[in-house]
Amino acid sequence: MFEQVVTEAVRRSRYVIVYHVGLETPPEVEGVRATVDLDGALSRAPSPEFEVVEVLVLAGTPTDLRRAASLQASLSMARAVVVMVAEAPHWYPAPAPSLTPAHRWRTLTELRVHKPAGAAWAVEARFSAHAPAGRVLAATARAFAGNRLDTVDSSPVAALAGPGAAAWRPGDPNASVTPPAGPLPLRIGAPGGDVVVRTVADPPEWDGPRPPVDLTPPEELSWERIGRPGGGALLARDLSDPRLVPPVDDRSVNPINFVTTPRRGVGDLVTEGDRWAVTHEGEVMTRIAPSGCVTVVDVSRIRQLRGLRIDWRRGHSGPLAAVRAVASLAAAGVPLIGGELPKWAGALGPELAGLLGSVTEDDLADDLRREEYSIRLRRRALRDHGVRARWEQMGAPAGRRPLTSVLLPTRRPDMLGFALGQISRQRDADLEVILALHGIPREHPSVASALAGFDRPITVLEIGAGTVFGEVLNQAAARASGSFLLKMDDDDWYGPDFLADLLLAQSYSGADVVGTAPEFVYLASIDVTVHREQITEQITNFIAGGTILATRSAFEAVGGFRPIPSTVDTQFQHAIQIAGGQIYRAHGLGYILRRGPAASHTWREPIGTFLKRNRRQWRGFRPNALMELPEGAAVAEGVR
């Protein structure tokens, strides 16, 4: 397919440059002016000021394209640009670039987005004057992710040098490219980077005021290199530092589209030639690149597997590539059976390594236990091996965790102690509470008692009983100072990682609003817990009202909640979607909806609704393990 595309471009013009990334065998077509491997050394690449008629950017997957986007500043100028991806998951959106008002798009004369074959996508842009091809590349990579902002939180501007350097900064079009010896290029009157990352064997002396961060090139620690005479000494090195391993591109490889009830059994992660491959019953489902880079396509191909057994014998093409692959699969939520880990896999970190050795194949046979393990695994991998985590490990300033303002409205003073207790349980997140007492005086004995035992920042509002519910929430939001707003209900249960998991999901999904479905429901009137069938970890049009986490910008963009007495959650979600925002449904294992008589709730569904389409149901209160609640908690809390 790629060879045909290049041949046609050469036929149109003799002045064609081909950039490729993530391809096993790049096309070789006579007449191409230059061919550049964006995962290789860029020293011989044409200058960014060089003008040609056409530039082609060919990528294996959207994950590979994100690495290329970090190098967009190195691409030449062109009158026509074609960006093509060989395979994207079926659930990916069409990569229709958002054309910002930047002047480089003003000369655009034609833009075409199409599927040339199978699961491939192509974006073709033509201009009336030479334009930076890298801008089209970056816009296409962004379009695959729904045109959300591509940034790396709390990290400095990076300058990249050496083969594979973009793997340390995937999806960052603000990165610059510098020669391995320096000096830094100037960009708009300032140095082109705050931190220089080099992946060069025997790096030269640096010409600049700040020393660069020198990282081990992947080929330096391959099994092939270790197997040469004297190479055994490489294994004597300390390989326990996560900073040796490129981060997981968590905006691309993450739990999105996790399958809770897979159709196939446990597969194997085994050595095939010079790399790892995933096999099941003799079928090779995907082969992982020699670098250890796992792509979103790799993950999509194996989603229907119940889990993977890892064969650590001479794992992958080298120890660092093996750690990179395992960390990536864990970040995607793939249930992994690790057994006893070899010493050379220490860069996984002790907590992730401990999790990998904590389960057997029998543990994955139960869907609920399997998902609990997957969530623990993905949390650890994303927090230890994500891009932001890796840069903080390398010395980048650790940004402040975002402040979340919890909007807690209540008409029931007797429930306030319980509700604040659920908020007190939240860990690994910074929060404040905006308590809206709806028709309740602050001096009420139950209110005073609940507030006395609460140790988080809290603002208390007294709002008249005649104020409609939507306006109560808006008044609470007006007093909030957080960059996120979380609506919580006063009678539902929330696991201790509920908020932290939502913030993590917002980070990897980029959605404007994140929440969960009412997957677990405790029917108080009949003392039954149900586990309902829900599809999670996906863009959706509905989440439970007691779990709505919204960015402040999205909340303000739609004017907050409608000032009406009921259906305010549904109306808010509708407004977000028609305004062009996205709602993401994360896993539902950190939340239990309590359901009493329908008349006591603003969402007045009859109890029979919650007895349909259930996976399981239990007599009594049965929280899952991630809730970290005793089974008798419902009775103990006095909320039956």
**Which pLDDT tens digit goes with each residue over 125-157?**
999 999 999 999 999 999 998 888 766 655 689
Rounded average pLDDT over 89-100: 91
- 289 contact partners, CB below 8 Å, separation of at least 6: 22, 275, 295
> Sorting pLDDT into bands at 50, 70 and 90, what band is 598?
very low
Rounded average pLDDT over 457-472: 97
**Which pLDDT tens digit goes with each residue over 467-519?**
999 999 999 999 999 999 999 999 999 999 999 999 999 999 999 999 999 99
Please count the other Cβ atoms lying within 10 Å of the Cβ belonging to residue 252: 27
> Sorting pLDDT into bands at 50, 70 and 90, what band is 596?
confident
Question: Minimal CA–CA distance to 3: which of 44, 31, 40?
Answer: 31
Question: Given this model, what pLDDT does residue 597 score?
Answer: 57
Q: Does domain 403-636 have CATH number 3.90.110.10?
A: no
**Domains of the chain by residue range:** 2-144, 242-393, 403-636
**Which pLDDT tens digit goes with each residue over 281-298?**
999 999 999 999 999 999
- 616 contact partners, CB below 8 Å, separation of at least 6: 368, 530, 531
Look at 182-191, 206-215, 234-243, 328-337 and tell me which has the smallest mean pLDDT.
234-243
Q: Does the structure show a pLDDT above 60 at 600?
A: no
Looking at per-residue pLDDT, the higher value among 128 and 219 belongs to: 128
Question: Given this model, what pLDDT does residue 634 score?
Answer: 65
**Which pLDDT tens digit goes with each residue over 356-402?**
999 999 999 999 999 999 999 999 999 999 999 999 998 887 777 89
pTM over 0.75: yes
Share of the chain above pLDDT 90, in %: 76
Exposed/middle/buried for 20, CB within 10 Å: 0-12, 13-18, 19+?
Answer: buried
Asked if 394 contacts 213 with a C-beta cutoff of 8 angstroms, the reply is yes
The secondary structure element, H or E, covering residue 459 is: strand 458-463
Asked if 451 contacts 458 with a C-beta cutoff of 8 angstroms, the reply is yes
Rounded average pLDDT over 427-450: 96
Looking at per-residue pLDDT, the higher value among 19 and 187 belongs to: 19
d(CA 243, CA 349): 11
> Sorting pLDDT into bands at 50, 70 and 90, what band is 317?
confident
d(CA 139, CA 132): 12
Tokens of 592: 């239990």
Rounded average pLDDT over 16-40: 92
- 143 contact partners, CB below 8 Å, separation of at least 6: 93, 94, 95, 96, 97, 98, 123
d(CA 71, CA 566): 50
Look at 571-575, 601-605, 631-635 and tell me which has the smallest mean pLDDT.
601-605
Rounded average pLDDT over 458-468: 97
Q: Does the structure show a pLDDT above 60 at 635?
A: no
